[in-house]
Amino acid sequence: MDEPLPLLIVYSRRGCHLCEEMLEELEPLVRGRAQVRVNDVDTNPEWVELYGLLVPVLYYSGSEVCRYRLDRKALLKLLSDSKI
């Protein structure tokens, strides 16, 4: 049985151009290697409190990978170190 793909979480908001850019760059880099879940900050009051307008934020395994723009170097290191 196949193991589930690791989960990357992007905290985002509708209409956020930086969020759209991050997702456009992220998805091809991790396709087939990890799942990407987008959490709309505006759907959860706790997320609004935590992130407000400080989005997008990319998380893996409870740790922030990058914020605002995709840090390709950090992502590629994460993928390599985690054997994703």
Per-residue pLDDT, 82: 82
Q: What is the pLDDT of residues 27-46, one digit of tens each?
A: 999 999 999 999 999 999 99
Main-chain phi, psi angles of 49, to 5 degrees = -65, -45
Per-residue pLDDT, 79: 87
Q: Report residue 76 as tokens.
A: 């590629």
Distance CA(12)–CA(15), nearest Å, equals 9
Please report the domains of the chain, with CATH numbers, ordered by start residue: 7-81 (3.40.30.10)
Q: Which of 16-20, 42-46, 66-70, 73-77 has the lowest mean pLDDT?
A: 73-77
Per-residue pLDDT, 22: 98
Distance CA(45)–CA(36), nearest Å, equals 22
Match 């985690």 to its residue by tokens. Answer: 82
Q: How confident is the model at residue 1 (pLDDT cuts 50, 70, 90)?
A: low
Q: How confident is the model at residue 9 (pLDDT cuts 50, 70, 90)?
A: very high
